[in-house]
């Protein structure tokens, strides 16, 4: 087991190194750089910049150096927590990013909990009561949840939250706590605001996982070991929850790994509509304005978090399923 | 009657499938005596495993027990009709494993892939014998030792994929014996293991039967195994009993054409044959059982006028046959044909 964890961790480190190269290349791919678009903007406004000033700027940002030197410089600084200046905001990237990353993780994990809390019991019920009225109803609701666009659902929930419950909706904090230091009230306020994003983001995801859980359960539920457990005289609930559910859970553990990328890429529109201070909108904006240090840092950190998430889910899987430890 | 432990009376079990209704068990009746072994023989799909599940009242949808009685005389003079009990209720759950235990065809898949042997063994012990966990563990080690497994203490922490086929079936047997059941249902317990292991498992079961004094319901398609294990035999075909008698009668004086055909298709070392005999034709589609005698499409003795709905009738001492021509066939065979 320890050997398994060590081997997986080493693979994860190699993976992160490879990802850093890839994210750097992606940043470099679009033609031109921040300076080019900056100069273009200035000339569009009729300003002329002397050539020596341009080359001085190039020097300062290191855009003239060969690509691998630029890469090494970037990685070297990143390891010390310095992701460079945000060219657009004019402040260090690290100042902007940590808060949003933290909130992204919080929104991601709470959506994941919501998804689990709904999908597991519903999936188990649907499988144990296959072709019953409720099974069909859950299937219907699941498909509906999958089909409704998230942003639309978000708007509806916001409207309901505002008009029926008189809630302050949108964002993750009420205005009075926006810049306040962390306190118990602020956490409660955050939890209050988390409800809508959690449901919106969770719904479409839940629908898929209910199907997965149901299908896995149906595979397991007629296995001889389940019958053996029943023959032992265990109660039906014990039989179901101890044996087939335990085996059918494996794909859920894997969701831990991709909760974060899902939060950034998958629900970007929702995040914009709900005005969530997560990294998704920030990444979108930095990509549009070619703010390469910002974009690079976000891509890099998200990838690292994803790799760590996957590592955690791998280890959890190995703990839960002895067959996986073998390989 | 006081020797009877379990009595199955006119049991009907149907499976309601989209392709049609399968009469998996169609009016089966038999008795199991205390401490004795009843062999139930038949091809796959003849309803023998469904009968076993009906005894524990665990027929799952789309199957349903339609009618009949399964009377258990194990723990009081008054019989308990097992199939009248709530299949999820506490009384049948006390009987399962505590009174009637079962071992399954595939020892591999009848153990959980993600729980240790110890976990699965102690579970039933704690439940039925009210033992605390540590005592149950000690008892499990004793049981594993009794079924001849080496290093039983270490075995408790193992998973099913770490054991060989024979070890797994021994574990299942140890588990089934843990609550000292009065009846052990063995559903083709040696089908999935190799022949040497099969012999060991059979010997073990016979020894344990003597030691624990339990009755065994031995389900198999292998008449050779039944000859070694059973006191009485019931032969099933398409959900019905076609012949029932003590083991010697079945082997030396079989009356039903199906039983005779089964016996001829056992490979033998004392007679050289170019080809192994098989039973002509296939088991018919279970949703569409032949009218009249269900065996008639495959029967050499079929005479349309005579073979209409043969009743299950007694033709000798404890010898029951479902064949209208049983007497003629019996005479014929003693003159012309040596069955065994």
Residue A235 to residue B93, Cβ atoms within 8 A: yes
Residue B93 to residue A234, Cβ atoms within 8 A: yes
The per-residue pLDDT for range B217-264, each reduced to its tens digit, is: 999 988 888 888 899 999 998 888 999 999 998 888 888 888 888 888
Q: DSSP strand E in B224-336: where? A: 232-237, 240-246, 313-316, 319-321
Class of domain B4-235: alpha beta
DSSP designation for B95: H
B87 phi and psi angles, rounded to 5 deg: -65, -15
The angle subtended at Cα B14 by Cα B9 and Cα B15, nearest 5°, is 150
Q: Which of B105, B110, B124 sits opposite A225 (nearest CB)?
A: B110
Q: How far apart are CA B169 and CA B173, in angstroms?
A: 6
| Residues in chain A closer than 8 A to B124 (CB atoms) | 232-233
Residue with tokens 């118990």: A184
Question: Considering only alpha carbons, which residue of chain B is nearest residue A226?
Answer: B110
Q: How far apart are CA B249 and CA B236, in angstroms?
A: 16
| CA of B159 vs chain A CAs: smallest distance (Å) | 7
Residue B127 to residue A247, Cβ atoms within 8 A: no
Angle between helices A184-221 and A133-147 (to 10 degrees): 130
**Is residue A227 within 8 angstroms of chain B, CB to CB?**
yes
Residue B124 to residue A326, Cβ atoms within 8 A: no
- For the segment A288-294, the average pLDDT, to the nearest whole number, is 79
pTM of the predicted structure, to 2 decimals: 0.80
Residue B58 to residue A227, Cβ atoms within 8 A: yes
**Is residue A230 within 8 angstroms of chain B, CB to CB?**
yes
Q: Which of B104, B113, B161 sits opposite A228 (nearest CB)?
A: B104
Q: How far apart are CA B259 and CA B255, in angstroms?
A: 7
HEC-encoded secondary structure of B60-104: CCCEEEEEEEEEECCCCCCCEEHHHCCCCCHHHHHHECCCEEEEC
Question: Considering only alpha carbons, which residue of chain A is nearest residue B56?
Answer: A231
* ipTM value for the complex: 0.85
| Total domains, chain A | 1
Give kind and range of the element (H or E) at residue B4.
Answer: strand B4-17
Task: Centre a 10 Å sphere on the Cβ of residue A3 and count the other Cβ atoms it contains.
Answer: 8
DSSP designation for B82: G
Q: Residue A280 is part of a domain; what is its CATH number?
A: 1.10.3720.10
| The pairing of beta strand B313-316 with beta strand B319-321 | antiparallel
The per-residue pLDDT for range B131-190, each reduced to its tens digit, is: 999 999 999 999 999 888 889 889 999 999 999 888 898 899 999 989 889 999 999 888
Q: How far apart are CA A97 and CA A105, in angstroms?
A: 12
- Quote the mean pLDDT of chain B: 86
Whether A109 is covered by a domain: the verdict is yes
Question: Considering only alpha carbons, which residue of chain B is nearest residue A242?
Answer: B115
In chain B, what are the domain boundaries? 4-235, 252-336
Identify the three-state secondary structure at position B297.
helix
- The CA-atom distances, in angstroms, between A59 and each of A62, A70, A297 are 5, 12, 21
Q: Which residues form the domain of A151? A: 96-290
Report CA dihedral (A218, B84, B23, B63) to the nearest 10 degrees: -10
Residue A243 to residue B98, Cβ atoms within 8 A: no
Residues forming a β-bridge with B79:
none
Give kind and range of the element (H or E) at residue B185.
Answer: strand B183-187
Question: Considering only alpha carbons, which residue of chain B is nearest residue A317?
Answer: B114
- For the segment A266-287, the average pLDDT, to the nearest whole number, is 83
Residue B88 to residue A232, Cβ atoms within 8 A: no
Is it the case that residue A300 has pLDDT exceeding 60?
yes
Q: How far apart are CA B25 and CA B15, in angstroms?
A: 9
Tokens of B241: 């009993």
Whether A228 is covered by a domain: the verdict is yes
Whether A276 is covered by a domain: the verdict is yes
Residue A229 to residue B112, Cβ atoms within 8 A: yes
List Cβ neighbours of A73 (8 Å cut-off, separation of 6 or more). Answer: A62, A65
Tokens of B155: 């075995």
The per-residue pLDDT for range B92-125, each reduced to its tens digit, is: 999 999 899 999 888 888 999 989 999 999 999 9
Question: Considering only alpha carbons, which residue of chain A is nearest residue B103?
Answer: A228
């Amino acid at each position: 087991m320890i050997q398994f964890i060590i081997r997986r961790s080493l693979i994860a480190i190699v993976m992160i190194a490879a990802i850093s190269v890839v994210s750097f290349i992606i940043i470099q791919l679009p033609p031109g750089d921040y300076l080019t678009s900056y100069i273009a903007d200035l000339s569009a406004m009729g300003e002329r910049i002397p050539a020596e000033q341009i080359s001085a700027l190039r020097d300062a940002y290191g855009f003239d150096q060969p690509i691998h030197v630029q890469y090494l410089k970037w990685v070297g600084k990143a390891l010390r927590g310095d992701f460079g200046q945000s060219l657009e905001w004019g402040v260090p990237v690290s100042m902007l990013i940590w808060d949003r990353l933290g909130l992204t993780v919080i929104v991601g994990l709470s959506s994941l909990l919501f998804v689990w809390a709904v999908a597991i019991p519903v999936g188990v019920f649907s499988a144990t009561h296959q072709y019953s009225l409720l099974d069909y109803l859950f299937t219907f609701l699941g498909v509906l949840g999958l089909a409704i666009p998230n942003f639309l659902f978000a708007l509806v929930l916001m409207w309901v939250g505002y008009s029926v419950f008189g809630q302050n909706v949108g964002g993750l904090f009420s205005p009075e706590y926006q810049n306040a230091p962390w306190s118990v009230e602020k956490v409660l306020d955050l939890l209050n605001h988390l409800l809508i994003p959690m449901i919106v983001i969770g719904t479409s995801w839940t629908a898929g996982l209910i199907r997965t859980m149901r299908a896995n359960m149906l595979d397991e539920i007629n296995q001889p070991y389940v019958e053996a457990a029943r023959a032992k005289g265990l109660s039906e609930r014990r039989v179901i929850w101890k044996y087939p559910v335990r085996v059918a859970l494996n794909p859920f553990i894997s969701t831990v790994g991709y909760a974060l990328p899902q939060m950034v890429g998958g629900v970007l529109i929702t995040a914009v509509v709900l005005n969530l201070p997560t990294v998704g909108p920030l990444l979108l904006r930095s990509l549009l304005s070619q703010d390469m240090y910002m974009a690079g840092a976000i891509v890099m950190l998200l990838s690292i978090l994803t790799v760590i998430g996957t590592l955690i889910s791998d280890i959890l899987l190995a703990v839960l399923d002895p067959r996986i430890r073998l390989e | 009657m006081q020797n009877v432990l379990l009595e199955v009376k006119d049991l009907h079990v149907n499976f309601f499938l989209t392709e049609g209704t399968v009469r998996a068990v169609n009016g089966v009746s038999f008795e199991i005596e205390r401490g004795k072994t009843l062999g139930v023989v038949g091809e796959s799909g003849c309803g023998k495993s469904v009968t076993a599940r009906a005894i524990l009242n665990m027929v799952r949808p789309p199957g349903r027990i339609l009618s009949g009685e399964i009377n258990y005389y194990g723990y009081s003079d008054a019989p308990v009709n097992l199939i009248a009990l709530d299949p999820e209720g506490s009384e049948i759950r006390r009987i399962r494993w505590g009174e009637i235990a079962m071992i399954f065809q595939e020892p591999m898949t009848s153990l959980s892939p993600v729980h240790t042997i110890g976990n699965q063994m102690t579970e039933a012990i704690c439940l039925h014998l009210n033992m605390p966990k540590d005592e149950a563990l000690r008892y499990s080690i004793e049981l594993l030792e009794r079924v001849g497994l080496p290093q039983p203490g270490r075995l408790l922490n193992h998973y099913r994929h770490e054991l060989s086929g024979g070890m797994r079936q021994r574990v299942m047997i140890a588990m089934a014996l843990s609550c000292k059941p009065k009846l052990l249902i063995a559903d083709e317990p040696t089908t999935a293991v190799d022949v040497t292991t099969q012999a060991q498992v059979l010997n073990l079961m016979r020894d344990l039967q003597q030691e624990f004094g339990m009755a065994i319901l031995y389900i198999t398609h292998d008449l050779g195994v039944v000859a070694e294990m059973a006191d009485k035999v019931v032969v099933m075909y398409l959900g019905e009993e076609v012949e029932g008698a003590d083991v010697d009668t079945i082997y030396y004086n079989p009356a039903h054409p199906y039983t005779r055909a089964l016996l001829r298709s056992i490979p033998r070392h004392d007679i050289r044959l170019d080809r192994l005999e098989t039973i002509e034709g296939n088991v018919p589609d279970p949703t569409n059982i032949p009218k009249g005698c269900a065996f008639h499409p495959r029967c050499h003795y079929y005479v349309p006028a005579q073979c209409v709905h043969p009743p299950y009738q007694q033709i000798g001492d404890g010898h029951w046959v479902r064949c209208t021509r049983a007497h003629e066939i019996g005479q014929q065979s003693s003159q012309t044909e040596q069955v065994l």
